[in-house]
Amino acid sequence: MKTRTILILSAALLLCGCADSSSTEQSDISVTQSTATSIPTTILEDTSEPTVELTEFSPVTATMDIRYGNNPDNLNGIEPTGFVCTGDDGELYFTDLGNTNHIFMKKNGVMTELMPRTGSCLNLWEGDLYFISNTDAPVGIPIPVTNYCGDIWRYDLETGESELFYEGDVYSMMISEYGIDMRIGTQEKETHPEYGEVTVYSMQHYRMDFDGNITEKKNTLEAFGVYYGEHELTVADDMYCWHNTLTGEYVSVVSTEEAWNISQNGEWLTWTDNGKYNINALNIATGERKYCANMSYIYDYVWLNGELLVSSDGAIYSIGEGTAQKRFISGIDDVTALSLFTDGKDIYGLSPNGRLLRYELDSPLVYTPVTMWEVSE
């Protein structure tokens, strides 16, 4: 499979909605930043090309549950990712985009600033909050949308101390019982025939265990941290396939040329086409499929209570069997959500001006955005 890149257009199209980075309210949680360097790591390049015998797709059964550091849809859909994360006791952790850009916690209706630091790809694991942060730049919302790049930081929720956990150009990460899946890459300037000078991000998929050992994962950039129990989504013979880590078996799913922005939520594997105009959902336990074609442009999608919600053309669509039922968003002028997130109860949208909004379902056909970050007003 060819290496995939992300193009960032010229500076005229870059940041919109970046705000003052000063905090409007002092946190009552002590924050101390560690001076430790990145954890020691050993790069183990996976250069082998194993002989794979692919079988045609058939329903796959998981015999074990996999715990994640965040909802997979929040981390593995279309970028930008991971600005919302839910705790075990209902706490909500989020980056206050469009205002302070700092990381906050909402618990029992009370907003608290955890630290005066910006962050994306929030993951909660064993009492620590992991996130990607660049000390030289706040989180911004570039156009076209792309990932935020930085180091991995870890914040101890009990002590209120933060430390640099891994130093490198990390574009996105997902934490699970398999470890820390990361996209790491480089950026170079190139000349585009239509847009002129652009920045090209070339990324590769790595997995790091919690002791700091890193393994490079070959040809799995789009199948990024996608698991279903003991099954790991990987690439073989230009096909995305499920690899049973217990038996070693491989079951083909879909061609790499046909599927982008792949995410797994429960039994549903979801992906868009190359142009982000069509979306597919496959129930890998039953073989059931859902499909929606010819949308104007798919910005992001998220599963909520068994329903696939898609942001496209200034509205949220509910994807049914071969059809799309339009659920209108009301209450603001520019209603296109660049990214969608969920805490399992509500959905959250990132607006083009950088505001992170919570959407309330007022009726079966209307979602209304609500500015919920009272501390930021």
Q: Considering the entire predicted model, what is its pTM?
A: 0.80
Among residues 188, 173, 206, 128, the alpha carbon closest in space to that of 8 is found at 188
CATH of 5-20+50-376, one of 2.60.40.3950, 2.130.10.10, 3.30.1340.10, 2.40.128.20: 2.130.10.10
Q: For every residue of 202-253, which 3-state class applies, written as one string?
A: EEEEEEECCCCCEEEECCCCCCCCCEECCEEEEEECCEEEEEECCCCCEEEE
Domain boundaries, the chain: 5-20+50-376
CA 162 to chain centre: 22
Q: Are 174 and 76 in contact (CB under 8 A)?
A: yes
Q: Provide the pLDDT for residue 41.
A: 52
Q: Are 235 and 219 in contact (CB under 8 A)?
A: yes
pLDDT per residue as tens digits for the range 327-365 = 777 655 456 788 889 988 888 888 777 777 888 766 666
Contacts of 222 (CB under 8 A, 6+ apart): 4, 240, 256, 259, 260, 261, 262
Q: Provide the pLDDT for residue 326.
A: 77
**Banded pLDDT at 374 (limits 50, 70, 90):** very low
Q: What percent of the chain has pLDDT above 70?
A: 74
**Banded pLDDT at 291 (limits 50, 70, 90):** confident
Kindly tell me if the per-residue pLDDT of 124 is higher than 90: yes
Q: What is the rounded CA–CA span in Å between residue 240 and residue 334?
A: 36
pLDDT per residue as tens digits for the range 137-189 = 777 655 444 557 889 999 999 999 999 999 988 888 999 999 999 988 766 77
Q: What is the rounded CA–CA span in Å between residue 9 and residue 11?
A: 7
Q: Are 150 and 170 in contact (CB under 8 A)?
A: yes
Do β-strands 227-228 and 231-236 pair in parallel, antiparallel, or remain unpaired? antiparallel
Among the listed ranges 29-33, 192-196, 280-284, which one has the minimum average pLDDT value? 29-33
Both tokens assigned to 189? 């300037």
Long-range pairs for 91-97 at CB < 8 Å and ≥24 separation? 92/343, 93/122, 93/124, 93/129, 94/122, 94/348, 94/356, 94/373, 95/119, 95/120, 95/122, 95/139, 95/356, 96/356, 96/373, 96/375, 96/376, 97/17, 97/139, 97/141, 97/350, 97/354, 97/355, 97/356
Kindly tell me if the per-residue pLDDT of 373 is higher than 60: no
Q: What is the overall mean pLDDT for the chain?
A: 77
Kindly tell me if the per-residue pLDDT of 376 is higher than 60: no
Residue 317, number of CB atoms within 10 A of its CB:
22
Q: What is the rounded CA–CA span in Å between residue 300 and residue 83?
A: 14
Q: Which residues of 341-361 are buried (b: 16+ CB within 10 A; e: fewer)?
A: bbbeebbbbbbbbbbbbbbee
